[in-house]
Amino acid sequence: MELDDPALPAVAHLTGPGAVDVVGAAVAAAGGVLHDLRTSHVQYRPGADLVVRYRGDVTWADGRHVEDETLLAATHRGAALPGTVPVVAEADGHRVEASVWRWPFDPLLTALADAVTPGRGDRVLAPIVGATQSVEVVAYRPTERAVVRVAAAAGRVYLKVVPPAELPALVARHERLLAAGLPVPQVLATTGDGLVVLAERPGTTFRQRIKDDLPGWPTADHLCALLERLHALPADVPSARGSRTADGRGHAALLAAVLPDHAGALSALAEHFDAGVDAVRDRSGPMVHGDLHEGQLVVEPSGTISGLLDVDDAGAGDPLDDLATLAAHLRFRATVLEPDAPGRVRRRLLETSDDLRSRAAARWGRIATDDTVAAVLVGLATGPFRLQREGWQGAVAATIVDATRIAGLVPAGGPRT
């Protein structure tokens, strides 16, 4: 993979073969030797910023040889990130600047190292659940957030790490939604450096029930009832995430940069999403989740929804986004993420997705619903690229085609799917 971005000259050097030189220089400055480098994850917004995660083979100055060291490099319009090794060079007539760091020393998630190192969080956890027994990283989005599952003597809790400035709003959001009767995790403790300790909700995530082929899926009635309760709440601040159609335009630009052969279809989709801006504004106002998918819902064996997770983005927004996001995720899981799942599981995923689309269409209209689902699919199409999955180009292309059909932008006016 190699990208070119005139606004960010370092992009070509962090995504191409030159990455080993950039990262290797930072490793050398820290007293190590980089022997090999493999890209494992990419976060990219054309013209704005790039963060690349690598797996490196490193020998450190103390003699330790690590064959799977996690190293990260970022570039953006601005100074080097604090707490990183800055790399500056002249290449092809441009000034190339990058910030390099090693897991878990994220420059903006200052509590991350304590959260993922067994024992280092016990000063906070011990009064709640006792000494730490095991630590598992559930999610990590460099410079933005991380989620860590901790098993301790008296049970499990989750640690969420965010930039310290975001902590007060996140805690207030959890407390407000919990007071309103929504099943969000209770905040058990916080630290000033951006760490939140969250109680575990009873049950299993909807995603895990799908992957393990477990009974007890929530019905569309359950899902819609939960969203009605959420959307009934007034919101005094906008969602941390923009509308899904606005996101879709940005994601289309990213995909056009990495798969230029599909730039025409992506441009048509972006223009299509632009046409709905006024309608999005008219619908917006209620409290929305902002990123609702099957991994954010905890479900008991009865199918009862017992948990609503990851409310970082909750705020005023377009209520159609929540139903459309969940519908698109289920469709994407059936068509791309679970190709080896039993046929009945994939059929059920598609049936549930179609049911949610129909319910959304009954309230907000078929065109608005399908356009929003298509925008979410364009965003999901970036996933195989970001994770650098083998054969990601084919998965991305197939999803672009699916989004085009759902939006009704098919050759010769063919039918929507």
pLDDT digits (tens, 9 = 90+) for 20-75: 999 999 999 999 999 999 999 999 998 899 999 999 999 999 999 999 999 999 99
Answering whether pTM is above 0.85, one says: yes
**Using N-to-C axis directions, what is the helix angle for 319-332 and 244-258, rounded to 10°?**
40
Tell whether 153 and 192 lie within a shared domain. Answer: yes
State pLDDT tens for residues 192-239.
Answer: 999 999 999 999 999 999 999 998 999 999 999 999 999 999 888 899
Please give the pLDDT value at position 410. 75
- Residue 114 clears pLDDT 70, i.e. is over it: yes
Own/partner contacts of 347-354, CB < 8 Å, gap of 24 or more, are 348/217, 349/210, 352/217, 352/220, 353/327, 353/328, 354/327
State pLDDT tens for residues 145-190.
Answer: 999 999 998 999 999 999 999 999 999 999 999 999 999 999 999 9
Which residue range is the domain that position 168 belongs to? 112-199
- The domain boundary, picked from 144, 164, 199, lies at 199
Please give the pLDDT value at position 413. 46
3-state secondary structure of 87: strand
Contact between residue 152 and residue 125 where contact means Cβ atoms under 8 Å apart: yes
Please give the pLDDT value at position 199. 97
Tell whether 368 and 292 lie within a shared domain. Answer: yes
- Residue 96 clears pLDDT 60, i.e. is over it: yes
Q: What is the mean pLDDT of the chain?
A: 93
- Residue 414 clears pLDDT 60, i.e. is over it: no
Tell whether 291 and 363 lie within a shared domain. Answer: yes
Question: Structural domain tally of the chain?
Answer: 3
- Residue 412 clears pLDDT 70, i.e. is over it: no
Tell whether 182 and 218 lie within a shared domain. Answer: no
CATH of the domain at 304: 3.90.1200
CATH of the domain at 151: 3.30.200.20
- The domain boundary, picked from 57, 77, 102, lies at 102
Tell whether 95 and 237 lie within a shared domain. Answer: no
C-alpha separations of 12 from 2, 7, 20 in Å: 6, 11, 12
Tell whether 158 and 72 lie within a shared domain. Answer: no
- The domain boundary, picked from 80, 102, 124, lies at 102
Tell whether 264 and 361 lie within a shared domain. Answer: yes
Cα(59)–Cα(32) distance, integer angstroms = 6
HEC string of 140-195? Answer: EECCCEEEEEEEECCEEEEEEECCHHHHHHHHHHHHHHHHCCCCCCCEEEEECCCE
pLDDT tier for residue 416 given thresholds of 50, 70 and 90: low
Tell whether 284 and 365 lie within a shared domain. Answer: yes
Residue 315 lies in a domain: yes
- Residue 119 clears pLDDT 90, i.e. is over it: no
Tell whether 242 and 295 lie within a shared domain. Answer: yes
Residue 3 lies in a domain: no
Please give the pLDDT value at position 93. 74
Cα(290)–Cα(315) distance, integer angstroms = 7
Please give the pLDDT value at position 358. 97
Contact between residue 259 and residue 342 where contact means Cβ atoms under 8 Å apart: no
Residue 47 lies in a domain: yes
Please give the pLDDT value at position 415. 58
pLDDT tier for residue 305 given thresholds of 50, 70 and 90: very high
Tell whether 70 and 121 lie within a shared domain. Answer: no
Higher pLDDT, 413 or 274: 274
Residue 1 lies in a domain: no
Beta bridge partners of 43: 51
pLDDT tier for residue 338 given thresholds of 50, 70 and 90: confident
DSSP 320: H
Tell whether 177 and 272 lie within a shared domain. Answer: no
Contact between residue 332 and residue 374 where contact means Cβ atoms under 8 Å apart: no
Cα(115)–Cα(103) distance, integer angstroms = 12
Please give the pLDDT value at position 78. 79
Tell whether 63 and 126 lie within a shared domain. Answer: no
Q: How far, in whole angstroms, is CA 142 from its chain's centroid?
A: 11
Please give the pLDDT value at position 244. 95
The percent of residues above 70 in pLDDT, for the chain, comes to: 98
Residue 72 lies in a domain: yes
Residue 303 lies in a domain: yes
Residue 51 lies in a domain: yes
State pLDDT tens for residues 243-292.
Answer: 999 999 999 999 999 999 999 999 999 999 999 999 999 999 999 999 99
Residue 4 lies in a domain: no
Please give the pLDDT value at position 146. 97
C-alpha separations of 126 from 116, 154, 156 in Å: 15, 9, 12
Please give the pLDDT value at position 341. 85
Please give the pLDDT value at position 77. 84
